[in-house]
Structure 1
Amino acid sequence: MTSNYHLNDGSSLPPRMELQQSWWAMIGLGENGREWTMEEKFERIAAAGFTGISATMPSEQDILEWHRLLDKYQFTFSTVAFPSSKSDMGDILETVKQFGRVQYINSQVMDAFVVGDKAVQLLQELLEASADAGIPHFIETHRGRITQDLLRTTDYVRALPQLQLIIDLSHYVVAGELDGAGSRAEAEFEVLLERTAGIHGRISNGEQVQIDIGKSGSHPMVDHFKRWWKKGMRNWYANAVPGDILSFVPELGPPGYAITRIVEENREIETTDRWQQALLLKQIAEELWEEVVAEAVNKSVVR
C-alpha cells in the first residue's frame, strides 16, 4: 500500500520541485477580448515551463479531452476536492480512480464551522480513507474551510502527525490583517511550514487576498512570502528521499479574487496582468528552490 503522507514517483531521482499551474487561475485569460481555448491554455502553460495542472475533477463529458491534452503535453495532474465527510471522501476517491492520472488530492475541507475534536476526527477519517486507497492527500490552509483559523489549524497539526499541508498563507495574512513584519503569527506559521507538502503561490496583504506585486516582485509583502515559502521548501527538503516531489502552484484567481475596476459601460476589468503575475511567481519559486538545494549541497560538503 502506498502511503498518502508524501508525494513520491517511485524513482531514484533526487527530491525535486514540480511546477503546476492552477486551472482555476486560467479562467478568463486570453487576448484581444477573447478567452483562450482549452488547448490554447495548455499550450501557454507548457510553453511557460510548467509540467502539470491543478484542477477540480473534469466533468464526465470532458474526460476524454482532458486525457488527450494531458498526454499530448505530458502533464501531471493534481485535483482539488471539497470533502465534508468520510462518505464524500469515498466518492472523491472513486472518481479519482476512474479518471486515473491523479498525482495527489488537495482538499479544502468543509467547512469553517466544524471545530475542535469534531474537526480532528473528520481530518483523521479523510486521511485514513485516502491512505487505504493509496492516494497522496494533503489539506490546504484556506479560509472558509475547516482550516479557517490559523490557531485552530496549528492545533490540528499538533493532534495529527500524519497531516501534511498545501501551504497558502495568503489566507491567514488577509484574515488576520497581518503586515508580515514581526507578526506574532510567525511562530504559528512555523508550525504549519514544518508540514509542507506543497505551496500555493499567491501574495496577500492585510486587506486583500491577491495583490499586484509589480513587474519585478517589488511589493513589500513579497519578501515576507519568499521567507515563508523558502522555510517550507527547506523543511520539506530536509525530510525528502529519492523520488519525492514538492508541488508549487501559482494560484491567482479570477474576479473576485483579482482586484478589478469599472470602465466604460460598467465593464469590469482586472487591474493586473494575471498571467504575467503567475509567471513571476513561478520564477520566484524556482529561484528559492535553487537556493534551498544549494544550501543543502553546501551543508553536506562541509560535513
Structure 2
Amino acid sequence: MATNNYHLNDGSSLAPRLELQQSWWAMIGLGENGREWTMEEKFEQIAAAGFTGISATMPAEQDYAEWHRLLDKYQFTFSTVAFPSSKSDMRDILDTVKQFGRVQYINSQVMDSFVVGDEAVQLLQDLLEASNEAGIPHFIETHRGRITQDLLRTTDYVRALPQLQLIIDLSHYIVAGELDGGVGSRAEAEFNVLLERTAGIHARISNGEQVQIDIGKSGKHQMVENFKRWWRKGMQNWYANAVPGDILSFVPELGPPGYAITRLDENGREIETTDRWQQALLLKQIAEELWQEVVAEAANKNAVR
C-alpha cells in the first residue's frame, strides 16, 4: 500500500489499472420479486457482474467478522466513505479503519457546506496531514452539502492545496448549477481544473434539474456524452502520471430513493421508475470502454515516439 495519501498503489509491478467497485449504499433496496437481496446475495450479484470491490461506510464493529468473511470469499477490495469535520474526527476514523484492517482508501465527504475560504483550506490540509501520517490513501469527494458544495470554491481548494486529490462526481455540480446540455466553456474550464486531480470517479449522471437520471437501456441520453467526456479526461489525466501498481477507482453510485426518481403504483406504494441495478451495470460498461480507449491511446502515442 502507498506510504502517503496522494495516490493509491498496491506495491506491485502491475500496469496501472482500473478498479471497478460497487457502492454498497447503491445496493439498498435492490432485489427480486419484491424481496431485497440478503447481504451475501448482494455480494454474489456484485461479483457475478464483474466488480472487484465494494465502496461503503465503515461497518459496525459487531459486523466486522461477516464483512471479512464475505470480502475474503469474493476476493473483494474495500474502500470506505467518511464524513469528517475536524482533524480529531479524522484521527478517530483512521483508528477505526486500522481496526477493521481491510481499507484500500478513504473517500471523505468533508462536513460541512458552511465551512468556506481559508477555514476550509486549513481543514482540508489538516485532514490530509492526518491520513498521510497514518499512511492511508485519502481522497476528497466533490459533493453537494459538504465543504465541496459548489464548483468554484472547490477549484479554489485545488489551487491552494497541491496535495489534494479528488473523487470526481460532477453530477453534483451539474444539478447544483443547473448546467444542462449547454454546459458552457466557463464551467468546462473549471471542470478541467478538478479533473487534473482525479484519484477516482463516482458515476452518476445528472441534468440541470435532477441529480440522478435514467439514461435508458443503451445510454443514449443527451447528458451521457458530457459525462463520458469528463470521465475520459479524468482517466487520461490520471493515467499520464501513473506508475506500476497504481489503481484508479471507478464506482457506480446510483442512490436509492430519494436520489432515485419514484412514483406511486396503483396500491399507493412508492416505486422507482428505473432499474437501478441495470443502470449501474451500464455505467460499469461505459467505464470499461473508456478505460480501453485511454490505454490504447497512450500506447499509440508511446509507439509513435
**TM-score w.r.t. structure 2 length?**
0.99
Contact kept, 8 Å, 1:181 with 1:224, in 2: the verdict is no
Distance in 2 separating the partners of 1:224 and 1:5: 27
Contact kept, 8 Å, 1:14 with 1:243, in 2: the verdict is yes
2:20 alignment partner, SS class: strand
Amino acid at match of 1:16: R
Residue 14 of structure 1 pairs with residue 15 of structure 2: yes
Map of 1:268 onto structure 2: 270
Amino acid at match of 1:263: D
Distance in 2 separating the partners of 1:243 and 1:67: 24
Matches within 5 A, 1:202-213: 202-213=204-215
1:118 alignment partner, SS class: helix
Q: Report the alpha carbon displacement of residue 265 of structure 1 after superposing the two structures with TM.
A: 2.8
Distance in 2 separating the partners of 1:243 and 1:80: 22
Contact kept, 8 Å, 2:131 with 2:137, in 1: the verdict is yes
Q: Report the alpha carbon displacement of residue 61 of structure 1 after superposing the two structures with TM.
A: 1.3
Q: Report the alpha carbon displacement of residue 264 of structure 1 after superposing the two structures with TM.
A: 2.2
Matches within 5 A, 1:246-285: 246-285=248-287
Residue 53 of structure 1 pairs with residue 54 of structure 2: yes
Contact kept, 8 Å, 2:181 with 2:222, in 1: the verdict is no
Amino acid at match of 1:213: I
Residue 296 of structure 1 pairs with residue 298 of structure 2: yes
Residue 192 of structure 1 pairs with residue 197 of structure 2: no
Distance in 1 separating the partners of 2:157 and 2:183: 24
Residue 169 of structure 1 pairs with residue 198 of structure 2: no
Q: Report the alpha carbon displacement of residue 182 of structure 1 after superposing the two structures with TM.
A: 4.6
Distance in 1 separating the partners of 2:147 and 2:85: 9
Map of 1:86 onto structure 2: 87
Amino acid at match of 1:81: A
Q: Report the alpha carbon displacement of residue 257 of structure 1 after superposing the two structures with TM.
A: 0.1
Q: Report the alpha carbon displacement of residue 52 of structure 1 after superposing the two structures with TM.
A: 0.1
Map of 1:223 onto structure 2: 225
Distance in 1 separating the partners of 2:53 and 2:25: 13
Q: Report the alpha carbon displacement of residue 281 of structure 1 after superposing the two structures with TM.
A: 0.1
Distance in 1 separating the partners of 2:9 and 2:183: 36
What's the RMSD between the two structures over aligned residues?
0.7
Contact kept, 8 Å, 1:138 with 1:165, in 2: the verdict is yes
Distance in 2 separating the partners of 1:159 and 1:301: 37
Change (3 A) 1:91 1:182: closer
Distance in 1 separating the partners of 2:198 and 2:273: 31
Amino acid at match of 1:129: A
Q: Deviations over 1:37-88 (max 9, x none)?
A: 0000000000000000000000011110000000000000000000000000
In the comparison of the two structures, how many residue pairs are matched? 303
Amino acid at match of 2:179: L
Structure 2 unpaired stretches of 5+ = none
Distance in 2 separating the partners of 1:186 and 1:227: 11
Contact kept, 8 Å, 1:17 with 1:248, in 2: the verdict is yes
